[in-house]
Structures are given as C-alpha cells and as structure tokens.
Amino acid sequence: MRIDAQIVVIGGGISGLSLISELTRRRSTGHRIILVEAESTLAHHTSSRSAQHLSPAYGPPPVRELTERTVAQLAKGLEDLEEPVIWPCPTVVVGSKAQLAAESTFYSTRISRDAVIELCPELSPMHPEALVGGLFEDDAVRLDASSLLEWHRRIATEAGVQILTDAPVTAATYDDDAWEITAGSNELRSPLVVNAAGAWADEVSQLFGAEPLGLQPLRRTAALVSLEQPLAADHPVVVTADGGWYYRADPVGALISSGEAEPQDPCDSQPHPGQMQALVEEINAVTSLRITEIVRSWTGQRTAAPDGVPVCGFDPELAGFLWLAGQSGYGFQTSTALARAAADLLLEDLIGTWCSVETAQALSPTRFHQR
C-alpha cells in the first residue's frame, strides 16, 4: 500500500500511542497520521511488561517534573471512564540508614521503623539494621496500563489515525522535502517522522542516516506471585532503597521485581532460568510475605539515554526526524507530558510554556551533539 502522510510515528508502545492520541486532540482529526508497528499486536514489548506504578519522587529532575504533569493530566483526562485507570497507591522505600540517606532528597516524609511495620506488617522480620525506617510517598499512583493503552488507541483511531501492524520500518530515504519509508508491505511518504521505537530507537535512527544516541536497553524481570495471605488492594508499593527488589499488591497476590538493570541488545527479552525462584526465596527469607507460587514471569527492556533523561526533540542533523525515546523505567509516568512536548514540536516547532525551560532543554537530542 502507498500512503501519503503528514506524520508517521514508528512504534506502537505507550510512547507512540500517547502521541497519536495527543495529536488527534490538538488537530481535531487523525487524518494523515500513520502509526507503524513491527509486531502483529500493539505494545508487545516493554509497554506490556511494566509494574504499572507512577511515582512522582522517582527519577532525575526532568522526569519528576514530567511525572507530576502526567499524573495530573491523566487524573483529569480519564475521569469520565467507567472503571478507574489510575488510583492512589503510596510508596514506601525501606533500607539501612546509609541507603535511606542516599535516597532521601526527593521524598518529603521520613518515617520510623515502627511506622513502616504498621503500614507493612510483613516487613517486621527484617533485621533492624536493614530496616531502620522508610521514605514515604503518598502521591504515587497505580495504573491499569492496558486500559490506558487502549484508551489512547481508541481516541486516535476514532479520529482517523491509521495504525499499521506487521509493518517494520526497514528502509528510509529523504527526497523532495519528505521521507520515503518502507514499513512491511507499505510505502509511506511523510515530511515528519517520529522515532518511538523503544529498545530499537537507535537502530531505527540509523535507517534514516541519523547518528545513534547511545540508547541502552536494560533488562528487568518481574513476576506475578500468589501469597498465603492476600495484601490489601491499597497496600503501599514496597521498594528496597538499594534497588534489590520491590513488590506491590495485585489481584493475583503480588507483583515482585528483581530491580536489575542489565545491559542487553534490543530483543524479546526473557527471564533467566531460576531468576524469579531465587527472588522468591530471598523475599520469603527476610519478610513474612509468604509467596507460595510464581504464576507468571516476564522480562522487559528499559531503554535509557546515556544521562538517564528521556529524549524528545528534532534531530539537529536530519530534516523532520523527531526522537521520542530513552524513557527508561519512566515510560508510563512521563507518557502524557512527553506526548504533549512531542506534539508541541511537531505542530508548533517548540515546546510550549507549560514545562520549565530546564526540562525542555534537558529533553533535547542536541545535548548529545554538543559534546
């Protein structure tokens, strides 16, 4: 199929889907916006493998600003839906004195060991030196990620955005003020292209002749587990300050994650044999969570820029090529604000006045070209 477009978005994860829904809201139509996804289903990779938690205290300053804005925008935008898509879910970071001191800058409330145990009685077996107290974040929220992804898809397609699956971008040339793009069996022509290809963003950029930014996929594994005693639905997310593991309540029992950040080439990443069983034994040894069974485990790739800040901006050396990548472990919690920033750039050629100048500058890919 040959299609003339105004904007082609590459990648059907949370980044690409939130962008196409933001673009249709701003243009009042999705006409001549195309999203291409390599897989046969949307959100097959990292966006279906997250912990679904939005934490305003988590991440470097630009990420925290984008997260605050995303949480506020989602709370407003999703209020008409029948089922809640986000709901309050505090975080408690626990650890030794030194670990908490290192983490304390961004958390407003320090709580005692007794207060931690009152909130999370299953932590009472932890050694007093390993759990001296906690950092409490009460404005964090839980997210139903698949409902959010579907919400964006529906808004965009109802407004006329065309989504092409089984459409991997494999070649691109620039000719007469527009990109000619091969995506599966489709030939697309568009003056504007968005690279929202997650772990593959550097590879995709090279098809267009861009200099890769050094984006690094980092594997992380998680599992749904059943428990002897269920956790209350509003149980805080518990995170160890050294990043060793975390867990949160889930209708199945709990979601646990090993918190690793292991570099890997872009791929359909899978758990290492025995990895989650070892984590279950570790958590069972130091808490009374009493995990009984691993129901399902998975691995996803959190793809980070060299400075850990997402990238949103036009490539300084390529016409009409916008990066929307490097969201690392913050892809959902920054999604709406990043989509808004990307839409500002695509439609108005600047990031609007709604975010700080520092954050707008921090997102730009030009920061890697200035070194």
Ligand X SMILES: Cc1cc2nc3c(=O)[nH]c(=O)nc-3n(C[C@H](O)[C@H](O)[C@H](O)COP(=O)(O)OP(=O)(O)OC[C@H]3O[C@@H](n4cnc5c(N)ncnc54)[C@H](O)[C@@H]3O)c2cc1C
In the complex with ligand X, the residue whose CB is nearer, 30 or 331, is 331
Question: Segment contacting ligand X (CB under 6 A): 19-27, 96-104, 274-282, 328-336?
Answer: 328-336
In the complex, the smallest distance separating the C-beta of residue 33 from ligand X, rounded to whole angstroms, is 15
Residues in the chain: 371
Q: Which of 21, 24, 46, 364 binds ligand X (CB under 6 A)?
A: 46
257 in contact with ligand X (CB under 6 A): yes
How many residues bind to ligand X according to rule CB under 6 A? 41
339 in contact with ligand X (CB under 6 A): no
Residue 294 C-alpha from the chain's centroid: 24
Region class of 273: left (phi > 0), else alpha (psi between -120 and 50), else beta: beta
In the complex, the smallest distance separating the C-beta of residue 108 from ligand X, rounded to whole angstroms, is 20
302 in contact with ligand X (CB under 6 A): yes
323 in contact with ligand X (CB under 6 A): no
Collapsing DSSP to helix, strand or coil, 175 comes out as strand
Question: Segment contacting ligand X (CB under 6 A): 5-13, 23-31, 71-79, 151-159?
Answer: 5-13
d(CA 349, CA 342): 9
Collapsing DSSP to helix, strand or coil, 14 comes out as helix
> Is there a contact between 143 and 86 (Cβ–Cβ < 8 Å)?
yes
Question: Segment contacting ligand X (CB under 6 A): 84-92, 223-231, 289-297, 327-335?
Answer: 327-335
Contacts of ligand X in 181-240 (CB under 6 A): 196-200, 204, 220, 222
> Is there a contact between 120 and 155 (Cβ–Cβ < 8 Å)?
no
Q: Are strands 216-227 and 262-263 parallel, antiparallel or unpaired?
A: antiparallel
In the complex with ligand X, the residue whose CB is nearer, 208 or 314, is 208
Q: Which of 8, 9, 23, 38 binds ligand X (CB under 6 A)?
A: 38
d(CA 186, CA 166): 10
310 in contact with ligand X (CB under 6 A): no
Binding string, 49-68, against ligand X, x = CB under 6 A?
xxxxxx--------------
Q: Which of 14, 93, 193, 241 binds ligand X (CB under 6 A)?
A: 14
Q: State residue 313 phi and psi, 5-degree precision.
A: 170, 165
In the complex with ligand X, the residue whose CB is nearer, 132 or 283, is 283
d(CA 208, CA 269): 26
In the complex, the smallest distance separating the C-beta of residue 141 from ligand X, rounded to whole angstroms, is 10
> Is there a contact between 208 and 200 (Cβ–Cβ < 8 Å)?
no
**Per-residue tokens: 289:** 């969570």
Closest by Cα among 133, 159, 139 to 25: 159
In the complex with ligand X, the residue whose CB is nearer, 37 or 133, is 37
In the complex, the smallest distance separating the C-beta of residue 347 from ligand X, rounded to whole angstroms, is 20
> Is there a contact between 149 and 49 (Cβ–Cβ < 8 Å)?
no
In the complex with ligand X, the residue whose CB is nearer, 93 or 222, is 222
> Is there a contact between 342 and 79 (Cβ–Cβ < 8 Å)?
no
Interface ranges with ligand X (CB under 6 A): 10-16, 36-39, 43-47, 49-54, 168-169, 196-200, 204, 220, 222, 257, 300, 302, 327, 329-333
